[in-house]
Structure 1
Amino acid sequence: MRHVLSALVQNVPGVLAHVSGMLASRGYNIDSLAVGETEDPHLSRMTFVVVGDDHVLDQVRKQLEKIITIVRVEDVSSYDYVERDLMLMRVKAPPGGQRSEIRELVDIFRGRIVDVGPDEIMIEISGRESKVQAFIERMRPYGISALARTGRIAMVRSAEATADESEPSPAEARG
């Protein structure tokens, strides 16, 4: 099973290396990882995607909660949530009919052309992983020159209240 975890961490040097190293040393594979500053410049949000059963999820959460720089860990995938992935792709697109076909596909997938060269264009697509993957497959016949993707980011919808918000996590209890 695929689990999306969100960890609120102190924004200090080395926290990413510490967290990813701890998970790797215990044999847990991270399918996706994204980190960014939150509305509080002293905190960052790390979003992980891990695959495993509930036992694996429980072990990953316990290991994360032991790390001093982690403020709170939440299993986002157990709630109603929104997730997004961002991709930039450079694809072969000589002027003419092929470029028009690609432009139509970009519009259908609600993407944007962000750069145009003589024989290539750069496209930005964001959305659920399945949408991004479907777009990649549609572009393969045209010739993908380069592709870069972010890790997944996710957030619980505002109508949902999480149980973890009312009780401090082990990291919060430590002070």
Structure 2
Amino acid sequence: MDRSERALSSLLGEEEPLRETWRVDTVTRGFEFSPPGLGGSETVGLTDQRLVWLDDELETVDLADVTSVGINSVGQSPTSMLLVVGPIAVVFGVITSLLLWLFTSLPSIVTLAPVGLGVLALVAAFVGSRFQDPADVERQYYLDVKTVETTIQVYATESTVRAMNERVSAALE
């Protein structure tokens, strides 16, 4: 038993022993649109009544409050960043071109260059996303635990997430 498992056990006490523990990348409460960045790992434990982990203090989810459990994944690729940057570049290009047109006497090609660069970034993002092989996208897996009040996402390896899903689903039955 490592330090984090001992810490969880000591906070739970003798009356509620840990049935299973897993080493995970991170746990987030509430819905996140993007996976968490690099960081340390955490330990998540399962008792007969709840799912527990340490995040500055003991965090818990009562199994009685869980409405559904499932496995999801999110993919990260350089193209997805371009899809965010492209529209922003177009907006900044339009604003910059408008300001250049209003306050300078530059040639038209120079005045419209910022818009052209923004559109070029947007087109590159769309073309890149079309030709990208889905197998090349790095996927991050997470256990999606929906409760009455919130959603908990537990990021870990695919095998750990599958094992957690089986054990938590069995505990809910």
Structure with the higher fraction of residues in helix conformation: 2
TM-score, reference length from structure 1? 0.31
TM-score, reference length from structure 2? 0.31
Structure with the higher fraction of residues in strand conformation: 1
Bigger Rg over Cα: 2
